[in-house]
Amino acid sequence: MNYVELFGSRQVSRGQDSYTASRTFLVYQNSGTLSLEDAVNYTGGVSFSDQHPDINGIFANGFTIKASATRGDTWELTWNYAQPQDDEDAGGDNDPFDDDSDNTEIDPVDGGVLDPPIDEGDATGGGEDEIGDEGVGEDEPSEDVPERLFTGVNITTGLALVDGYISGATIPSMGAQGGDSGYEITDGTIVHQGGEPVTVPVPTTDISLSVTSFGSTYFLNNVQLKAGKRNSGTYYGFSGGSVLFKGMSVQRQSENSWDSTYNFIWDAWSHMRQVPKRDSEGNVDYEDDGTTLKIYFKQPFPDTTSFSFSP
Residue 278: phi and psi, rounded to 5, are -130, 155
> Average pLDDT, stretch 158-163?
95
Taking the C-alpha atoms of residue 245 and residue 267, their distance in angstroms, rounded to an integer, is 12
pLDDT confidence of residue 126: 36
pLDDT confidence of residue 190: 94
Taking the C-alpha atoms of residue 289 and residue 122, their distance in angstroms, rounded to an integer, is 85
pLDDT tens figures, 106-128: 554 444 443 444 444 443 333 33
Statement: residue 130 has pLDDT above 70: no
pLDDT confidence of residue 145: 40
Cα 300 from chain centroid (whole Å): 28
Which CA distances in Å does 208 have to 57, 211, 234?
30, 10, 17
pLDDT tens figures, 163-172: 999 999 999 9
Helix (H) or strand (E) holding 195: none
Provide the whole-model pTM: 0.53
Taking the C-alpha atoms of residue 68 and residue 81, their distance in angstroms, rounded to an integer, is 22
Q: Contact, 272 vs 298, CB < 8 A? A: yes
- Pick the range with the lowest mean pLDDT from 45-59, 197-211, 237-251: 45-59
Polymer length in residues for the chain: 311
Q: Which residues fall within 8 angstroms of residue 173, CB to CB, at 6 or more apart?
A: 241
pLDDT confidence of residue 205: 96
Any idea where the domains of the chain sit in the sequence?
1-146, 152-305
Statement: residue 143 has pLDDT above 60: no
pLDDT tens figures, 32-77: 888 998 999 998 899 888 999 988 889 998 899 998 887 788 999 9
Half-sphere exposure of 143 (CA within 13 A, CB side): 0
Taking the C-alpha atoms of residue 65 and residue 36, their distance in angstroms, rounded to an integer, is 8
Pairing between strand 230-231 and 304-305? Answer: parallel
Percent of the chain with pLDDT over 70: 84
Taking the C-alpha atoms of residue 282 and residue 305, their distance in angstroms, rounded to an integer, is 33
Q: Which residues fall within 8 angstroms of residue 205, CB to CB, at 6 or more apart?
A: 155, 156, 157, 158, 265, 266
Statement: residue 7 has pLDDT above 80: no
pLDDT confidence of residue 149: 55
pLDDT tens figures, 85-107: 877 777 777 777 766 667 777 55
